[in-house]
Structure 1
Amino acid sequence: MNSAIRRLAVAAIILMLALMANSTYLQAFRADELNGRNDNRRVRDAQFSVNRGPILIGSTPIAQSKPSKDRFEYQRSYQLGPEYAPVTGYYSYLYGRSGIELNQNSQLNGSDPSLAFRRVVDVITNRRQQGASVGLTLNAKAQLAAYRGLAGKKGAVVAIEPKTGKILALVSRPSYNPNELASHDLEKTGAAWKKLNADKNKPLTNRAIKELYPPGSTFKLVTAAAALSSGRYTPETKVRSPAVLELPQTTVGLPNQNGRNCGGSDNATLTVALRESCNSAFGSVGLDLGAEALREQAEKFGFGERQLPDLGAVASRFPADPNAPQVAQSAIGQFDVQATPLQMAMVAAGIANGGDVMKPYLVQTVRTADLKTISETKPESLHQAVSSEVATQLTQMMVDVVENGTGRPARINGVQVAGKTGTAQTAPDRPPFAWFTSFAPANDPQVAVAVMIEDANVPRTDIAGGTLAAPIAKDVMEAVMGR
């Protein structure tokens, strides 16, 4: 009898120890994970009862919590919702969070360790917990110009302040209204979610940072940078530029888009080749430099690295091991070269900033409800992509593109604009992508822009970076410069 009791007691002790170990493990190691799960309704109910902090541009809220007359107590509200949705994301009872609402969640709901003192004060003074405000780097006028420019189109716009890396505009269209997903009418929220996910235009997709596209001729800036940095080329170096460049290992040539040689010559200068966006010339340069030189140059501009990773951004890429014909195609931004609009804005911004590519960022400040600054982002250099001398040469070549070449639609009276057009071919059954990347003023850059048009609902023959994307870039640059 005593033996049976002892065995039972030992079993009970083991079970108690296991329970204590599991409880300790959950509290010490998995509490944050479990609290953050979207199916944890207790936590969700508690969080929806918190006065969540606003997301601001300057002092203007683009997302804020307002008192509600239901069990949740506060309703998340998005002013100009679709315009800023790719940045703010949504805060939904059923579908969790995205964008800044996800990236800055602990600051916005007041649970971040940096807000511990504030929470203690709230308890002592019997005040309700209130989250911190998150101030963004966006320029409201530039954001509006980009949003309006993309009306009726599929595409994205990213604008960057070259000297700091501040993101001044980040727009993706078609967009969606995050108020529909933040609604406390859960039946309506579910219907809205289902409709958005069934939409073939993919309004929930952030085309500015989460989707990869062939950059087309805008990538010629990277190829030109590699050529000038090699020491074997200058802006006036003549390169092979026939109507069709014969490629090794294949009978398929690389033609110029207009079917003619470059600027009336089979041996155009690098400046003329960029001005006229000659495929044969840059294919020739790519073959001469080789894949490794192109890859290294692309990586110096940020290819292969995830920028804004907390917002789900993807890394742009240069193909791993292309053969000779594929190198020529890659040199003009085709084959398997893939880039986000953010990445191509970084290329322009790096050239504008004397070759120094700054790390892009969206969050400028985090402040408590009584305006005490918790954190402030400082500019950070990412890579020296090219020397200041090469950056100056590229700038002059890009100015020539806008003043005399394919980028004329981006010209601004009284301001020198540096730019590069691109029209990237895709599948035969879908339209090309139209690109434009630029910065201004060329002699003292305030803004660099990349515009990508995935579909503009126009005839295939009317699709070109200069005609579709450049006017949008112009409007965004003018908005930042206050013109």
Structure 2
Amino acid sequence: MNRSIRIASLFSLLLILVLIANLSWIQTFREDDLAQNPLNGRAFLEMKSTPRGQISAGGQILAQSNQDANELYQREYVTEPEAFGPVVGYLSDIYGAAGLESGLNSVLNGTDSSLFTSQWLDVISGKTTHGANVELTLDPAVQEVAYEQLSQSDYEGAVVALRPSTGEVLAMASSPSYDPNQIVNPDTAESAWEEYTSDEGAPLLNHATQESLPPGSIFKIITSAAALENGYSTDSTVTAASEVTLPGTTTTLTNYGGQTCDGGGTTTLLTAFQYSCNTAFVETGIDVGADAMRAAAEDFGVGQSYDLGLDNVPGDLGEIPDDAALGQSSIGQRDVEMTVLQAAVMAGTVSNGGVRMEPYLVSRVTGQDLSELSSHKPESAGGIEPEIAEQLTELMKASERHTSGYAGVEIASKTGTAEHGDENTPPHTWYVAFNNDVAVAVLVKDGGGFGTTATGGKVAAPIGRAVLQAAGGF
């Protein structure tokens, strides 16, 4: 055989082998990424030809499919679409899918492997194949209160309420929000998309799970846990000085307003927590060390994401190269970041006697005849010792008495005012609280219109108490 022909033949064979290998790789390992991707045109058309399952909460339909003149199923968002939008998401012909519509796509369109038996029975019985229905843990009344508390004041931020004993999410509100119907409707999709994507408040972002920000003083719950796990008690002596100098630097950190804590000198950990004295927690955090702080944060779920059917970021303590960085981190500043969901889980862990439960949004999945196909079983994700949780509860009740004047309700809470940007940038304000097997976390970004004088007690706490009350917390 001519040498040139032989080389060309071998090269062609090599190309064929590469093509076969590539196709095998795609078919075997990338099927979910490509064939099942909601942006895949063919799969999307097939999906639109099948009745998609409903999404509901508390007996109210949040999302359903209706057949149009072309016999394709179009998605409609029925109940309070802006209140539920960042959780439910959207399914658009143009812009694909987001939220639970994306995360639970295979369940809703009926292709999930867990639905094989029910789909097979539909086929042999001659029924039209349907997607499965998803019932959420959200309480519509609590969700509405949470969203209205944010939106009526044009706040940017989020609220999460959950049941500490099980992990079920009762409310997850994000503001600013959006109407998914506007993205789904072909007549309004383009203009709505341009409006939402150009909004500086990022309405298409779920601010409860997809945004991680400095938590400020609510992080003192974790610093306190680290201290209590390493020899401290609520009566341990800590500094009450108005300011401290970070080790190895000339930088000073002060208490709010430059005040001393309980008159100056020294005080107890209980009093320092009650009045949220920065200086005490800077020194305490440095004393227990970075390893203890990281371990405590991990116990509360910082750095962990959850299988909710929604994108959620893990949060982080960031780099802690020295004691100066550790002191700043101990009061929830520097590189420390948490999501509102993680803040709610943190409060829920204390409420639940130290047991951290996996948060979840899907209560159960049902077939087209509404028969139950699967239900969620609560799962523990770790946590802290019961005696530590008991002492933290004592600290948080003292904090609530100081913040609210104690109106006779046994709420346990902690506020946070997180600095970011320069000294002229309004702080992020936080509030976490629990009572009666309900835990809540609130974030209002950039001071909520109160400027640099904004505090967690002034801005975020009233929202948290309203949501807590709506959920049966008191």
Q: Tell me if TM exceeds 0.5.
A: yes
Contact 2:240 2:263 in 1 (8 A): no
User: What are the Cα deviations for residues 164-220 of structure 1, in whole angstroms up to 9, with x where unaligned?
Assistant: 11111111100011111222x2x5312221221111111111111111111000001
CA distance in 2, matches of 1:309, 1:123: 30
Instruction: Name the residue aligned to 2:426.
Output: 431
Instruction: Name the residue aligned to 2:459.
Output: 468
Contact 1:243 1:266 in 2 (8 A): no
CA distance 1:431–1:10, change in 2 (3 Å): closer
CA distance in 2, matches of 1:142, 1:87: 14
CA distance in 2, matches of 1:9, 1:254: 75
Q: Map 1:209-288; keep pairs closer than 5 Å.
A: 209-231=209-231, 233-288=232-287
**Once the 2 structures are TM-superposed, how far is the Cα of residue 115 of structure 1 from its aligned partner?**
2.2
Contact 1:214 1:337 in 2 (8 A): yes
Matched, 1:480 2:471: yes
| Letter in structure 2 aligned against 1:447 | V
**Once the 2 structures are TM-superposed, how far is the Cα of residue 37 of structure 1 from its aligned partner?**
3.6
Contact 1:416 1:440 in 2 (8 A): yes
Instruction: Name the residue aligned to 2:411.
Output: 417
**Once the 2 structures are TM-superposed, how far is the Cα of residue 21 of structure 1 from its aligned partner?**
7.4
Moved more, 117-126 or 93-102: 117-126
Instruction: Name the residue aligned to 2:99.
Output: 99
Matched, 1:395 2:397: no
SS in 1 for 2:471: helix
CA distance in 2, matches of 1:11, 1:227: 68
| Letter in structure 2 aligned against 1:391 | A
**Once the 2 structures are TM-superposed, how far is the Cα of residue 97 of structure 1 from its aligned partner?**
1.2
Contact 1:137 1:167 in 2 (8 A): yes
- TM-score normalised by L of structure 1: 0.90
Contact 1:63 1:76 in 2 (8 A): yes
CA distance 1:29–1:325, change in 2 (3 Å): closer
CA distance 1:420–1:75, change in 2 (3 Å): closer
Percent identity over paired residues: 39
User: What are the Cα deviations for residues 382-403 of structure 1, in whole angstroms up to 9, with x where unaligned?
Assistant: 1122x21121111111111112
| Letter in structure 2 aligned against 1:110 | G
CA distance in 1, matches of 2:473, 2:259: 40
CA distance in 2, matches of 1:334, 1:24: 49
Root-mean-square deviation (Å) = 2.8
Instruction: Name the residue aligned to 1:137.
Output: 137
CA distance 1:326–1:25, change in 2 (3 Å): closer
Instruction: Name the residue aligned to 1:161.
Output: 163
**Once the 2 structures are TM-superposed, how far is the Cα of residue 298 of structure 1 from its aligned partner?**
0.7
CA distance 1:120–1:456, change in 2 (3 Å): same
CA distance in 1, matches of 2:431, 2:286: 25
Contact 1:156 1:207 in 2 (8 A): yes
**Once the 2 structures are TM-superposed, how far is the Cα of residue 435 of structure 1 from its aligned partner?**
0.5
CA distance 1:127–1:401, change in 2 (3 Å): same
**Once the 2 structures are TM-superposed, how far is the Cα of residue 358 of structure 1 from its aligned partner?**
0.9
- TM-score normalised by L of structure 2: 0.92
**Once the 2 structures are TM-superposed, how far is the Cα of residue 364 of structure 1 from its aligned partner?**
1.3
Equivalent of 1:180 in 182, 186, 191: 182
**Once the 2 structures are TM-superposed, how far is the Cα of residue 73 of structure 1 from its aligned partner?**
3.7
Contact 2:364 2:375 in 1 (8 A): yes
